[in-house]
Amino acid sequence: MRTVVIGGAGYIGSVVANLLLNEGHEVLVVDDCSTGHADAVPPSADFVQADIADAADFLAGRDIDAVLHFAAKSLVGESVQHPSLYWRTNVVGTRALLDAITANGIPRLVFSSSAATYGEPESVPITEDAPTRPGNPYGASKLAVDLMISGECGATDLAAVSLRYFNVAGASFGAGERHAVETHLIPNALGAVDGTRPPLTVFGEDWPTQDGTPVRDYVHVADLARAHVLALTAAEPGEHLICNLGNGSGYSVRDVLATVEQVTGRPVPYTVGPRRAGDPAQLVASAERAAERLGWRAERTLTEMVADAWAFHQSRAGVDTVD
């Protein structure tokens, strides 16, 4: 297919762009590089540096089979402090993209949605039919985009798939997490191990879980990328398919720290702090719909996620700076 990867200079988008090229698809990467990195764009991909709001310009006149949309602001804390930034970038930007997709007759869309659309779950594992009650502007913006896509599919022949990720980790094709502001547990733990980041804070050890620390669902970025390729042909014209992506079981914070110590051979320095307001005890996906509709299941283990992330982290030693 002739594909456009919006946000293809970012962590997940660059891995997906590499996989698409590996499988023989044509790839145009579009990214404003506000948080992505131009050097993460695969050399064999075409690249346009542009804002998603200018979709009418960069899509005009191109013969395109599918758009894969990763461009978004994605920091929960920042979304609480600056909600207008999230509505403007994630929602208004995507509205411009959807208008350009319709105007150019592009038949397929795969959207990078989020488990943040669910908010505090009533039960786990979380299915796609669970109530959507996002607890912050980031999650609300992702849900708003999902609703816009549903409306677009109902009014046109657009075939769309929203993939709601849980926690993504690991590295693939030489691409890994390079966030200036890092909020994810695994890269922060790896940085704490070698002193490139401060010691971790574990937010509570009195949760109603097996070991007292929160449980989260992790999926390897390579597995995630495979789901995007499968999603290209999963939806029918006029259908908006929503699938969760996760391993379906979950790992506690202590599980992750133990795996980091096993992989690196070093202790993870950390302190225990109070619980964070709004944190749920468990967030675990049901990925049964992805298995049924995409033919997808998570395959790689937590050890593989940490080992690949550690190899990438070491490869960037002395190259990246940490804010």
What CA–CA distance (Å, rounded) separates 303 from 203? 23
Across 178-182, 183-187, 254-258, the highest mean pLDDT is recorded for 254-258
Task: Give residue 309's pLDDT.
Answer: 97
**What is the reported pTM?**
0.95
Model confidence over 124-170: pLDDT tens digits?
Answer: 999 999 999 999 999 999 999 999 999 999 999 999 999 999 999 99
Question: Residue 40: how many CB atoms within 10 A of its CB?
Answer: 23
pLDDT band at 318 (very low <50, low <70, confident <90, very high): low
Q: Please, what is the average pLDDT of the chain?
A: 95
233 close to 265: Cβ distance less than 8 angstroms: no
What CA–CA distance (Å, rounded) separates 85 from 104? 27
What CA–CA distance (Å, rounded) separates 150 from 133? 17
Task: Give residue 89's pLDDT.
Answer: 95
What CA–CA distance (Å, rounded) separates 288 from 3? 27
199 close to 269: Cβ distance less than 8 angstroms: yes
- For the residues 242-246, what does the mean pLDDT come to? 97
Catalytic residue set: 138
Question: Residue 70: how many CB atoms within 10 A of its CB?
Answer: 24
| Confidence check: pLDDT of 171 > 90 | yes
What CA–CA distance (Å, rounded) separates 271 from 115? 27
- Beta pairing class for 167-169 and 159-165: unpaired
Q: Which residue has the higher pLDDT, 117 or 277?
A: 117
DSSP letter string, 213-236:
S-EE-EEEHHHHHHHHHHHTTTSP
Task: Give residue 75's pLDDT.
Answer: 87
The widest CA-to-CA distance across the chain, in whole angstroms, is 57
Task: Give residue 322's pLDDT.
Answer: 42
What CA–CA distance (Å, rounded) separates 84 from 127? 30
What CA–CA distance (Å, rounded) separates 227 from 80? 30
Residue 83 burial (10 A CB sphere; 0-12, 13-18, 19+): middle
| Sequence letter at residue 60 | A
Share of the chain above pLDDT 90, in %: 90
Model confidence over 54-108: pLDDT tens digits?
Answer: 999 999 999 999 999 999 999 888 999 999 999 999 999 999 999 999 999 999 9
96 close to 116: Cβ distance less than 8 angstroms: no
Model confidence over 200-216: pLDDT tens digits?
Answer: 999 999 999 999 999 99
Task: Give residue 320's pLDDT.
Answer: 65
Of 67, 151, 56, which is closest to residue 111 (Cα–Cα)? 67
The residue to which tokens 């005009």 are assigned: 60
Ordered domains of the chain (ranges, CATH)? 2-169+217-245 (3.40.50.720), 171-216+249-283+300-318 (3.90.25.10)
Model confidence over 6-47: pLDDT tens digits?
Answer: 999 999 999 999 999 999 999 999 999 999 999 999 999 999
Task: Give residue 323's pLDDT.
Answer: 37
